[in-house]
């Protein structure tokens, strides 16, 4: 068996053995695909001798932990987006961690003030712009409301966690009233109803259906290196990345992160894993695997990611973003964002 014993389930999650403490093991529930975290976990095992057991699922893991209660075998939960990290905390399935090593490595604005979640890598919510049809070199989030973009913007659902994170940042910076007006204007500038994932928006630019789109940075890397569907390389070549507001408050970033399970049976090993995940070595492995940015000072992004350009990240605390997510979601529904442009 490999150092990282991966258990994969699509329809449901396959459980571990009964929750007992093992001196040389740590149990991981992961929303991140096994191939993305295996190199990271292999490095941890090589360094510590601690075996990693992984259960992967695309949804429902935090709820499973809640249902399992004290019998849960999970030691840590690895996921993406502040919404999912805060959601685990809100479900009561996490425990606070106060650790000098982790706190020294992870910037304060990328960790929970109470120690329930910690960011490990960041991704920026950027604008993909057509190389052929968009001359602008600087576009702010606020600019998306300008009538010059009418019928030219594509995006995924306004209720997706990636969208809500950005909209919550707008609420934090501008207040609910101004954000509602902005969302209405952006809605009416859409080329169509929000649909598809981030890569689908770039495909739409390639097809001439729109000129700019919102998306996460790492999708550029996924498209540029896609050997299974080489057409995606052509999609990527049709756009360039613009980092909104980088000359002002900064570009909105979100995180991948980790929490310690409330009833972790291997809490000591879980803490060792979390310390390792916060290290420069782990940060560079993890970030490179998914074309993301390390959060620790001094750890460099991969050459491919650096080639997209430098930017200033919005320094606002993601705890503030988390607190504005509910308002952002309500505003998305109130303006009918996912219904597309008003007639």
Q: What is the pLDDT along the chain (343 residues), one digit of tens a residue?
A: 333 333 333 333 444 544 444 569 999 999 998 888 999 999 999 999 999 999 999 899 999 999 999 999 999 999 999 999 999 999 999 999 999 999 999 999 999 999 999 999 999 999 999 999 999 999 999 999 999 999 999 999 999 999 999 999 999 999 999 999 999 999 999 999 999 999 999 999 999 999 999 999 999 999 999 999 999 999 999 999 999 999 999 999 999 999 999 999 999 999 999 999 999 999 999 999 999 999 998 888 999 999 999 999 999 999 999 999 999 999 999 999 999 998 5
Please check whether residue 200 lies inside any domain of the structure: yes
Note the pLDDT of residue 228: 95
Please check whether residue 128 lies inside any domain of the structure: yes
Q: Which structure tokens are listed for 99?
A: 């650790």
* Domain that includes residue 99, residue range: 4-122+254-301
Please check whether residue 308 lies inside any domain of the structure: no
d(CA 35, CA 9): 14
Please check whether residue 283 lies inside any domain of the structure: yes
Please check whether residue 202 lies inside any domain of the structure: yes
CATH of the domain at 81: 3.40.190.10
Q: Write the CA distances from 189 to 96, 138, 146, integer angstroms.
A: 43, 18, 8
> What backbone torsions phi and psi does residue 150 show, to the nearest 5 degrees?
-60, 125
Please check whether residue 29 lies inside any domain of the structure: yes
Q: Write the CA distances from 247 to 123, 189, 312, 335, integer angstroms.
A: 18, 24, 7, 29
β-pairing verdict for 239-242 and 51-56: unpaired
The whole-model pTM stands at 0.91
Q: What is the DSSP letter of 111?
A: B
Question: What 3-state DSSP class applies to 166?
Answer: helix
Count up the domains in the chain and report the number: 2
Do 233 and 217 have their domain in common?
Answer: yes
Question: What 3-state DSSP class applies to 104?
Answer: helix
Note the pLDDT of residue 19: 45
Note the pLDDT of residue 36: 86
Please check whether residue 306 lies inside any domain of the structure: no
Q: Which structure tokens are listed for 122?
A: 């960041």
Note the pLDDT of residue 343: 58
Do 98 and 240 have their domain in common?
Answer: no
Do 181 and 327 have their domain in common?
Answer: yes
- Contact, 343 vs 193, CB < 8 A? no
Q: Which structure tokens are listed for 223?
A: 């498209």
């Amino acid at each position: 068996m490999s150092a990282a014993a991966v258990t994969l389930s699509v329809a449901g999650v396959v459980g571990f053995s009964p929750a007992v403490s093992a001196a040389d093991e740590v149990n991981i529930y992961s929303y991140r695909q096994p191939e993305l975290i295996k190199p990271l976990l292999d490095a941890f095992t090589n360094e510590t001798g601690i075996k990693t057991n992984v259960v992967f699922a695309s949804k429902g893991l935090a709820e499973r932990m809640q249902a399992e209660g004290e019998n849960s075998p999970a030691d840590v939960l690895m996921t993406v987006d502040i919404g999912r990290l805060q959601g685990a905390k809100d479900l009561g399935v996490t425990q606070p961690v106060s650790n000098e090593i982790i706190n020294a490595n992870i910037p304060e604005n990328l960790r929970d003030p109470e120690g329930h979640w910690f960011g490990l890598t960041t991704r920026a919510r950027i604008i993909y712009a057509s190389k052929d049809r968009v001359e602008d070199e600087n576009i702010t989030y606020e600019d998306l409301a300008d009538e010059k973009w009418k019928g030219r913007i594509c995006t995924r659902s306004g209720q997706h966690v990636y969208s809500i994170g950005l909209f919550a940042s707008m609420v934090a910076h501008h207040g609910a009233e101004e954000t509602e007006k902005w969302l209405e204007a952006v809605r009416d500038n859409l080329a169509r109803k929000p649909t598809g994932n981030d890569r689908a928006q770039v495909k739409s630019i390639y097809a001439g259906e729109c000129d700019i789109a919102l998306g996460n940075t790492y999708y550029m890397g996924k498209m540029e290196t896609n050997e299974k569907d080489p057409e995606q390389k052509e999609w990527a070549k049709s756009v360039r990345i613009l980092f909104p507001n980088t000359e002002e408050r900064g570009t909105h970033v979100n995180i991948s992160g980790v929490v310690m399970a409330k009833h972790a049976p291997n809490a000591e090993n879980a803490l060792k894993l979390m310390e390792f995940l916060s290290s420069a070595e782990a940060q560079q492995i993890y970030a490179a695997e998914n074309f993301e940015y390390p959060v620790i000072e001094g750890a460099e992004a991969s050459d491919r990611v650096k080639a997209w350009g430098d930017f200033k990240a919005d320094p606002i605390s993601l705890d503030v973003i988390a607190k504005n997510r509910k308002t952002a979601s309500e505003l998305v529904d109130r303006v009918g964002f996912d219904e597309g442009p008003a007639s």
